[in-house]
Amino acid sequence: MSDFPHTPPRYSATFTPAVNAEIRRAAASGIYDIRGGGTKRHLPHFDDLLFLGASISRYPLEGYREKCATDVWLGTRFAKKPIHLDIPVTIAGMSFGALSGPAKEALGRGASEAGTSTTTGDGGMTEEERGHSKTLVYQYLPSRYGMNPDDLRRADAIEVVVGQGAKPGGGGMLLGQKISDRVANMRNLPKGIDQRSACRHPDWTGPDDLEIKIHELREITDWEKPIYVKVGGARPYYDTALAVKAGADVVVVDGMQGGTAATQDVFIEHVGMPILACIPQAVKALQDLGMHRKVQLIVSGGIRSGADVAKAMALGADAVAIGTAALIALGDNDPKLEAEYQKLQTTADAYDDWHEGKDPAGITTQDPELFKRFDPVLGGRRLKNYLKVMTLEAQTIARACGKNHLHNLEPEDLCSLTIEAAAMAGVPLAGTSWIPGRNGGY
Amino acid sequence: MQSFDLGKEGLRALNSALHGLKGQTNMTDWEVINPKGAHAIAAGVDAPVDITVRGSTGYYCAGMNKQATIRIKGSAGPGVAENMMSGTVIIDGNASQYAGATGRGGLLVIKGNASSRCGVSMKGIDIVVHGSIGHMSAFMAQSGNLVVLGDAGDALGDSLYEARLFVRGSVKSLGADCIEKEMRPEHYALLEDLLKRGEADGKAKPEEFKRYGSARKLYNFNIDNAAAY
């Protein structure tokens, strides 16, 4: 034995233990990894932006005395009955099937109490969510599961879903464990199959057809309902412009941090763009068309706090949508359930096997025994509290920037912490006037 | 009969009048003249009325129809009777792509040919085509019946679920998980009824058809089926 020190073990930065574990899992199972949620990789995000606050050149507003309004109108372009929400934080589309009936009820309760809207998903409209949602957006999806003209007419708005941030270009997936009798009946499918939703709409192709499709939906609903078009964050400039051209009242852009009920991990992690890169492009498309604020922009994907809300709005969004954060507010991934997560070979705050239908919190399941654990009244109260906190946080920041309405926040209120964020968000690097890719600066 | 000149009065006025026919009405016969290929003619009707469109229609005629009988005395553009819930739509001429897409109920009769994706994602509708249908028809079809007196194009019934497909002529190719199945007595009875309701009982006999349906091999993920996806 030499007396020299032994070279310590060194892990590869390429073949990390996590990478190796996935290779072994793939080799053993022969099938790609499927999971719920959004991307888990580190991305340039709202954390890479800071607000500058007021100074000599700008007056702040008094935090507890001067008003900072938060309301938002959606669908003012063509709809006879546009939506007016008290707060600009909406609940994103999540399907009955992916979520339990009581979870959908809780989303409706919480959103309604906080003065905002909730959204159906790839499973049709349930009585739980219609009954408990003051303002309900009805998704018009490629699968058309549960689609019918009566629900179109009793919705408050219609969202034509072209794509979503977790999987731009991909269709939905609901595995057999969650296809209960009720879900199967709503989707006209055999019970227990692994259901694949279409990735393209069955009866239109491209922007010219979309314009005719939107026109049909307006005719069926007598031009009353706002019509949103939702796209995954892939080519936000062109997608936003084409949605406007097709006649959308509202464009929804979902970045790759946006969640899904179940999709291939490779899709979630490697397709799409972060929301930070999407917002400026979508806003520019609206501005270039003279439609900013006339066609409203909702952005989603990784919104967690009032700071994120304020930053998204400062970049030009009219409102935001939350999905994953809303589930966490309801009680998803709570460390109180750690013992049960351990039984599922996972841990709280990392549980993402939503497709298996074994959620200990009773939210992403169709197992009646599991969803009995979830109290929709309490869940709704928790969501309302969370939405109120986000709103107060956003107001706090807006007042500090001298704004009497969240919509008055602007890119000039921001600086970037990283060169990447500066380039993507079009906001100068802190302490400089430099925006990479643009001329000038110091 | 209530005659409506679409060229003069416009689509919004037509659909608004038709949507106003809630529940029972004694104004049950409607005629639409000068359709000139307009889109969304008689979309979203929910009343037991009889509407005759004298001419050809654009996209989505009779979209999401409930209860009404809608007759097109010409050809129909893409997506005719899409997501139909109930009632009957009868087209004297041809139908463009996506005819009867996602239809959940009722009867769609096409007396000419239908283009590609006829019956795509159908969910309970009955479709009777007197002529032939194009490629990718009955793609992801979930339930209902598609009857074709002529031929079918490529990839018939690709990835279909529980819909029943009956074709009298040739099938250029079958899509993934679609196979020919045995014609049993109940299928002959079903076909006889569909041919009669589809105004085709004098044109073809049930015993002349072959039945196609799902092999149900792709209902659950299996790595050994990877090549089929």
* pTM greater than the 0.90 cutoff: yes
Residues of A in contact with B223 (CB under 8 A): 29-31
User: Dihedral, CA atoms, A291, A411, A321, A139, nearest 10 degrees?
Assistant: 20
User: Dihedral, CA atoms, A170, A196, A217, B73, nearest 10 degrees?
Assistant: 120
Residues from A contacting B (CB-CB < 8 Å) are 29-31, 143-144, 147-149, 152, 175-176, 187-190, 192-194, 196, 198, 202-204, 209, 212-213, 215-216, 219-223
CB burial readout A333-342, b (16+ within 10 A) else e: beeebeebbe
Angle, CA of A362, A363 and A369, to the nearest 5°: 25
Residues of A in contact with B121 (CB under 8 A): 143-144, 198, 202
Tokens at A177, concatenated = 């464990």
Nearest residue in A to B219, CA atom? A193
Which amino acid, residue A26?
A
**A158 with A138: CB under 8 angstroms?**
yes
Say what the pLDDT of residue A24 is: 98
Tokens at B29, concatenated = 């016969």
Q: Which residues of chain B have pLDDT under 50?
A: none
CATH class of the domain at B2-228: mainly beta
**DSSP 8-state symbol, B223:** G
User: Which of B16, B58, B82 is facing A203, going by the closest CB pair?
Assistant: B82
Q: Tell me how far apart the alpha carbons of residues A68 and A394 are, in angstroms, rounded to a whole number.
A: 10
**B108 with B68: CB under 8 angstroms?**
no
Residue pairs between chains A and B whose CB atoms are closer than 8 Å: 100
User: Which of A144, A215, A221 is facing B83, going by the closest CB pair?
Assistant: A144
At B30, give phi and psi (nearest 5°).
-125, 145
User: Which of B16, B39, B143 is facing A216, going by the closest CB pair?
Assistant: B39
Q: Which of A203, A213, A224, A225 to mutate to test the interface with B (most CBs of B within 10 A)?
A: A203
- Nearest-CA distance B98 → chain A (Å): 5
- Nearest-CA distance A151 → chain B (Å): 12
Q: Tell me how far apart the alpha carbons of residues B26 and A297 are, in angstroms, rounded to a whole number.
A: 46
Say what the pLDDT of residue B25 is: 74
- What does each C-alpha distance from B60 to A39, A203, A212, B96 come to in angstroms? 38, 9, 9, 10
Q: How many CB atoms within 10 Å of residue A440?
A: 7
Q: Which of A191, A216, A218 to mutate to test the interface with B (most CBs of B within 10 A)?
A: A216
- Number of continuous H segments (helices) and E segments (strands) in chain A: 15, 16
Q: Tell me how far apart the alpha carbons of residues A288 and A236 are, in angstroms, rounded to a whole number.
A: 13
Angle, CA of B155, B159 and B165, to the nearest 5°: 65
3-state DSSP assignment of residue B211: strand
Nearest residue in A to B99, CA atom? A203
User: Dihedral, CA atoms, A134, A135, A140, A144, nearest 10 degrees?
Assistant: 0
Q: What is the tens place of the pLDDT at every residue in B36-45?
A: 999 999 999 9
Residues of B in contact with A179 (CB under 8 A): none
Q: Tell me how far apart the alpha carbons of residues B100 and B62 are, in angstroms, rounded to a whole number.
A: 10
Q: Which residues of chain A have pLDDT under 50?
A: none
Residues from B contacting A (CB-CB < 8 Å) are 11-12, 15-16, 19, 39-40, 43-44, 46, 58-60, 63-64, 66, 78-79, 82-83, 85, 98, 101-102, 104, 117, 120-121, 123-124, 139-140, 142-143, 159, 161-162, 219-221, 223
- Nearest-CA distance B192 → chain A (Å): 25
Determine whether the interchain pair A30/B219 forms a contact, defined as Cβ–Cβ distance below 8 Å. no
Determine whether the interchain pair A188/B142 forms a contact, defined as Cβ–Cβ distance below 8 Å. yes
Domain ranges of chain B: 2-228
Which residue is it, tokens 């972060």? A274
CATH classification for the domain delimited by A34-425, as one of 3.30.390.50, 3.40.630.30, 3.40.50.300, 3.20.20.70: 3.20.20.70
Determine whether the interchain pair A190/B83 forms a contact, defined as Cβ–Cβ distance below 8 Å. no
Closest CA to B129 of B117, B143, B141: B117
- Nearest-CA distance B139 → chain A (Å): 9
Residues of A in contact with B98 (CB under 8 A): 202-204
**DSSP 8-state symbol, B86:** S
Say what the pLDDT of residue B221 is: 75
Say what the pLDDT of residue A60 is: 94
* Chain center to CA of A180: 26
User: E strand or H helix at A297, and its extent?
Assistant: strand A296-300
**Helical pair A376-400 and A306-314, crossing angle rounded to 10 deg:** 50
Say what the pLDDT of residue B222 is: 75
Domain ranges of chain A: 34-425
Determine whether the interchain pair A194/B66 forms a contact, defined as Cβ–Cβ distance below 8 Å. no
Q: Tell me how far apart the alpha carbons of residues B158 and A188 are, in angstroms, rounded to a whole number.
A: 17
The percent of residues in chain A predicted with pLDDT above 90, rounded, is 85
Instruction: Give the length of chain B.
Output: 229
* Chain center to CA of A388: 18
- What is the C-alpha R_g of chain B? 18
- What is the C-alpha R_g of chain A? 22
Q: Tell me how far apart the alpha carbons of residues A428 and A421 are, in angstroms, rounded to a whole number.
A: 9
Residues of B in contact with A176 (CB under 8 A): 220
User: Which of B43, B104, B162 is facing A190, going by the closest CB pair?
Assistant: B162
Q: Tell me how far apart the alpha carbons of residues B123 and A267 are, in angstroms, rounded to a whole number.
A: 29
Determine whether the interchain pair A189/B59 forms a contact, defined as Cβ–Cβ distance below 8 Å. no
3-state DSSP assignment of residue B64: coil
**Helical pair A206-220 and A236-245, crossing angle rounded to 10 deg:** 50
- What does each C-alpha distance from A191 to A177, A347, B40, B54 come to in angstroms? 9, 30, 35, 44
Q: What is the tens place of the pLDDT at every residue in B151-161?
A: 999 999 999 99
Say what the pLDDT of residue A440 is: 63
Instruction: Give the length of chain A.
Output: 442
**ipTM entry:** 0.96
Exposed, middle or buried, A9 (CB in 10 Å: 0-12/13-18/19+)? exposed
